[in-house]
């Protein structure tokens, strides 16, 4: 054994490098299934959308979503989003946000502040049903179901916003 060690002594750095390369290969091989599942789940099934909670959303869309959110959960959403409006921002902040969110030129938007994974997960849970309901109503599929109750030419969301809370919950 000692003769083997003496023979390999000039190659010590090469042997250490081999061990690190084998360790890197093992880590890469073990992380491959996780990467493939993310590609399938997020990339293909969810069309690249990782979270339900939007990073930025127009204030008009947020008001539509808030129609279908519990009163207990509304403060959670409003605390985690910051309203960006041309009138409330300084000129430099407005220009900075306008480069990131070009839709800010057309009206106020809400920007997500929560970066904590737990907060995002909670927002995903809160947003899951309301976003689905809003997209269903906007697609026009709900017009036939609600058409008898809402007069022609009236925005569905305006009519729903004017309903008493008890009647809105019954519809939902």
pTM of the model: 0.65
Within-domain flag for 152: no
Within-domain flag for 28: no
SS3 172: coil
Q: What is the pLDDT of residues 9-64, one digit of tens each?
A: 889 999 999 999 999 999 999 999 998 888 887 777 767 677 788 888 998 899 88
Within-domain flag for 144: no
Within-domain flag for 34: no
Within-domain flag for 40: no
In total, how many domains does the chain have? 1
Within-domain flag for 104: yes
Within-domain flag for 47: no
Domain with 90, as residue range(s), is 56-139
Q: What is the pLDDT of residues 60-104, one digit of tens each?
A: 899 889 888 888 888 888 888 988 988 888 889 888 988 988 988
> Which parts of 2-112 are beta strand (E)?
56-58, 81-84, 109-112
Within-domain flag for 132: yes
Count of other CB atoms within 10 angstroms of residue 153: 5
């Amino acid at each position: 054994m000692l003769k083997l060690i003496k023979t390999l002594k000039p190659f010590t750095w090469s042997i250490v490098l081999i061990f690190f390369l084998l360790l890197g290969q093992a880590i890469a091989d073990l992380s491959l299934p996780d990467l493939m599942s993310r590609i399938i789940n997020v990339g293909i099934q969810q069309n690249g959308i990782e979270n339900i909670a939007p990073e930025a959303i127009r204030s008009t869309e947020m008001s539509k979503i808030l129609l279908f959110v519990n009163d207990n959960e509304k403060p959670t959403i409003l605390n985690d989003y910051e309203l960006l409006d041309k009138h409330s921002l300084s000129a430099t902040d407005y220009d900075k946000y306008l480069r990131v969110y070009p839709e800010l030129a057309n009206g106020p938007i809400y920007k997500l502040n929560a970066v904590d994974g737990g907060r995002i997960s909670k927002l995903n849970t809160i947003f899951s049903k309301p976003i689905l309901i809003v997209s269903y109503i906007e697609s026009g599929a709900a017009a036939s179901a609600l058409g008898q109750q809402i007069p022609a030419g009236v925005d569905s969301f305006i009519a729903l916003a004017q309903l008493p809370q008890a009647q809105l919950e019954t519809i939902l």
